Amino acid sequence: MKTTHTHIRVAVAGLISLGLLSGIAACEKKPASNPTPSGQDEHAGHNHDGHDHGTDVSTEQLHIQDEYTYTVRGEIDQMPSADAPMSAFRVHHEAIHNFVNSKGDMKGMNSMTMEFPLGEHVSLDGFVVGDKVSMDFTVTREPWGYFVTKLEKLPTETELVFGKADPSRISGEHDHGDDQGGE
């Protein structure tokens, strides 16, 4: 009986891993300020009212890097629990408009619920299911993997927007986020 339970656990873990891998493979990238794939925000502080650079990054192949870091907001859906060995840190995240796939194409990643392994020095102390968070996560190509590098709690009144990724939103790096009322 113990062998059967072990085989079931291994099969379930394998299916979860396979589902996660296919979710990531079908997904894409987004940092909060929509930096370029190198992680540098080449348009920080620029006012781009009413113009674009004429580059559609959604169809442009980018130089494939070994590592990409994305910033995304979301809501904690599950916390790891000693009582549930198969549990993990899981977040329902907003769309990542500038996620770069394994072929180097910026296609975007729709909002979805994903498990996120934690990197060194990242703690879940003080976080609970339902907390709204901003997090940085890094995707590595060789060896393939991803992990959270920074996790911050957002105010409870933060409104999250879940939906499809739209790489055209970052064409020419013009997504400046919500209008905060400036000039």
16: domain range?
Answer: 2-40+57-170
Looking at residue 141, its pLDDT comes to 84
Give all strands of the β-sheet with 112-115 in edge-to-edge order.
112-115, 90-93, 67-78, 132-141, 144-153
Looking at residue 104, its pLDDT comes to 85
Residue 78 lies in a domain: yes
Residue 47 lies in a domain: no
Residue 49 lies in a domain: no
Beta bridge mates, 96: 109
Both structure tokens of 128? 């609970």
Residue 26 lies in a domain: yes
Q: Splitting the chain (183 residues) into consecutive groups of 10 residues, what average pLDDT does each group show?
A: 44 41 42 38 35 38 76 98 92 96 89 96 97 97 92 98 92 42 38
Residue 113 lies in a domain: yes
Residue with tokens 């009144």: 157
Residue 52 lies in a domain: no
Residue 50 lies in a domain: no
Q: How many angstroms separate the CA atoms of 14 and 16, rounded?
A: 5
Q: Is 90 left (phi over 0), alpha (psi -120 to 50) or beta?
A: beta
Per the structure, how many domains does the chain have?
A: 1
Residue with tokens 């794939």: 37
Residue 51 lies in a domain: no
Tell if the pTM clears 0.75, that is, is over it. Answer: no
CATH of the domain at 69: 2.40.50.320
Other CB atoms within a 10 A radius of the CB of residue 27 amount to 20
Looking at residue 171, its pLDDT comes to 59
Both structure tokens of 45? 């502080």
